[in-house]
Amino acid sequence: MHAIDYLRADTLETAIETLRDDPSSAPLGGGTTLIDLMKCGVAQPSRLIDLTHLPGLNTIVASESALLVGALARMSDVQAHPEVQQRWPAVSEALLRGASQQLRNMATIGGNLMQRTRCGYFRDPTFSECNKRSPGSGCAALNGENRGHAVLGTSDHCIATYPGDLAVALVAFDAMVHILGPDGPRTVPIDDFFLLPGDTPEQEHPLSQGELITAVEVPASPAARRSRYLKVRDRVSYEFAAASAAVGLEIADDGTVADARVALGGVAAKPWREPAVEAALLGRPAVPELFREAAALAASGARPWQHNAYKVELARRTAARALMTLPL
Ligand code: SF4
């Protein structure tokens, strides 16, 4: 039996100080990731710092220039917000495609960004080889079952897939992560918030001890307004992506593409922006042939493993199909 202390934080400052002073403590939001990891023995915090009663962190504000979502806003509330559905539909759709309704009612936006990989070897401590769980121990997935693992952004130390949906849409639309810590506030572009495994796969985010996400900000843009999130998976509900794509287009008056956003999920070690696909779309007539041609450039440099080569073609087809479903 592993004893756990519990502290309900009344102020953000108290939470930050406690987390800074006690590296074995962990912040608790909706609990839909952390409690899972505690049950399977991967996370063993000595103290849970409950953030859910902190005031002012669950707001959803859509201004002319941006969407600002507090870290404690629930997935289901953000997904159902009328302004989010209308002006950032890919964000709303990505949230709707994640987890189950019960989980979305509990899970927070900050916690969603902190979710960890679904690699089975990571989540089962009876497997001794996992560099992410136990640095230096090896990677059981390299020569094991790796059908769901990543083909982009991997290293010889870890080939785990980033599992989330929301962050794929956030990466496509240049979101910013607002952070508060012992040294004050700072803002990190969402693409920099997710670290590639390299030779330190246990480090997934650039957060220092005591730092917490306070909000996520998504700029408004014509491409965000005309956007989609498409998720392809083994079953239609409550399943992680085999591949997904967040896409958005701004179309000029002459029918050509004035702005393009494409990001992939389910195939990479982090949410994966596709600048080559975006560049291929720009300035050309927005027609299905162009979408197929540009999407064929996705997943360039992919490094498939024994069981997951299918993801390369699946990623390209998912991006093309997502573009074709946009209202033009
Ligand atoms: Fe661990 Fe990463 Fe290898 Fe999975 S892929 S076993 S998380 S090191």
Res. 328: pLDDT tops 90: no
Q: CA distances (Å), 108 to each of 25, 55, 301, 309, in order? A: 19, 14, 34, 33
Res. 76: pLDDT tops 90: yes
Give residue-wise pLDDT tens across range 240-265: 999 999 999 999 999 999 999 999 99
Which atom belonging to ligand 1 lies closest to the Cα atom of 117? 7
Res. 285: pLDDT tops 80: yes
Distance separating alpha carbons of residues 96 and 100, to the nearest angstrom: 8
CA of 160 to the centre of ligand 1 (A): 5
Give residue-wise pLDDT tens across range 124-145: 999 999 999 999 999 999 999 9
**Would 1-52 and 224-324 be classified into the same CATH topology?**
no
Q: Is 119 in the pocket of ligand 1 (CB under 6 A)?
A: yes
Residues facing residue 184 across a β-bridge? 181
Q: Write down the pTM of the prediction.
A: 0.98
Give the pairing of strands 66-70 and 243-251.
Answer: unpaired
CA of 119 to the centre of ligand 1 (A): 6
Residue nearest to atom 7 of ligand 1 (CA): 122
Please give the CATH superfamily to which domain 224-324 belongs.
CO dehydrogenase flavoprotein, C-terminal domain (3.30.390.50)
Query: Does the domain spanning 1-52 belong to CATH 3.30.43.10?
Result: yes
**What is the average per-residue pLDDT within 16-30?**
96
User: Residue 2's pLDDT band (boundaries 50, 70, 90)?
Assistant: confident
Type of residue numbered 40? C
Mutate to test the pocket of ligand 1, among 40, 42, 115, 119 (most ligand atoms within 8 A of CB): 119
Res. 51: pLDDT tops 90: yes
- CB atoms < 10 A from the CB of 275, how many? 11
- Return all residues near 290 (Cβ < 8 A) that are at least 6 apart: 257, 280, 281, 284
CA of 224 to the centre of ligand 1 (A): 34
Which atom belonging to ligand 1 lies closest to the Cα atom of 121? 6
- Segments making up each domain of the chain, as ranges: 1-52, 224-324
Mean pLDDT value across the chain:
97
Q: Which is more confidently placed, 78 or 237?
A: 78
Q: Is 158 in the pocket of ligand 1 (CB under 6 A)?
A: yes
User: Residue 1's pLDDT band (boundaries 50, 70, 90)?
Assistant: low
CA of 146 to the centre of ligand 1 (A): 10
Q: What is the pLDDT of residue 64?
A: 98
- Return all residues near 4 (Cβ < 8 A) that are at least 6 apart: 38, 45, 46, 47, 48
Distance separating alpha carbons of residues 116 and 26, to the nearest angstrom: 14
Q: What percent of the chain has pLDDT over 70?
A: 100
Q: Is 132 in the pocket of ligand 1 (CB under 6 A)?
A: yes
